[in-house]
Structure 1
Amino acid sequence: MQTVRDVMTTRVVTLPPETTLVDAAQTMRQQDIGDIVVADGHGPAGLVTDRDIVVRAVAERRDPGSTTIGEIQTPDLVTVRPDDTVQSVALLMRDNAIRRVVVCDHDDQLVGIVSIGDLAEEIDPDSVLGGISRANPNN
């Protein structure tokens, strides 16, 4: 049975909550990612996605140069362990209607992230979603 460790992305970008949306968006562009884990010095405190920036800030006419990721983050992280099964994580994501989960070790240290695309590639690589997830991003 496959585990989270087999499918998770270990290259996770973290930024402090006082990071502005402009800086976070530039980091996302430079790193070619769509999410950032907000870390407060005690571990993961929240998650911000490119969609969060659009829906929670830009659409609300908030100033991206002064609004911080800490202000718009999703604070209630759903976390999993590296040894959890891929199937259990897929069910957790479905039940919580989320697209990403943060992976923490037994000391609650951040070790990875799993997206719905990661699961699609692993569970059904021939599916349309699996194919989209494997495709090179548009720049």
Structure 2
Amino acid sequence: MKLIYSILLTCLVSFASVAEEVNQELKQLAQDYFQVMVASQAPSATNKELEAYLALLTDDVGHQHLPYEVDDRRLPDGKESMRKGMMYYLGAHTEYQAKLLNTFIFNDSAIAIRYQHSAKGIHPDNNQAIAYTSVIMEVLEVEEGKVARIRKYHE
């Protein structure tokens, strides 16, 4: 009987340590994602910062940003579409700052980050001044250590 209890206890400790390791990896991915995302929005951002952000994504990443982008399907050119969109807005901000408010980890497949950000700049479509402050929740679905789907929600 003692042998059975010992085996069960060993299994539980093993599972707990594996779960904690995965949890730490996801926490680190959340931190890395937030840092490179903020850097990609900075007034001084270049292609280097965009590529650092894109490196965290799968090639077929899906992206939804309601109400602007409603389709979250994963397509083979998902990363390339994001690159194209981000390049269009590169340098539009004259000021940008963000503060991470919360990080949530969901089992081994999802992260949610909640942050407040504010920006000023010139919109590239109409050359009008923009200024905003908002709280965003990004839910990131993770596969094999990379972000496979991004869903953005405004508070």
TM norm structure 1: 0.28
Which has the greater radius of gyration? 2
TM-score where L is the length of structure 2: 0.26
Structure ranking higher in strand proportion? 2
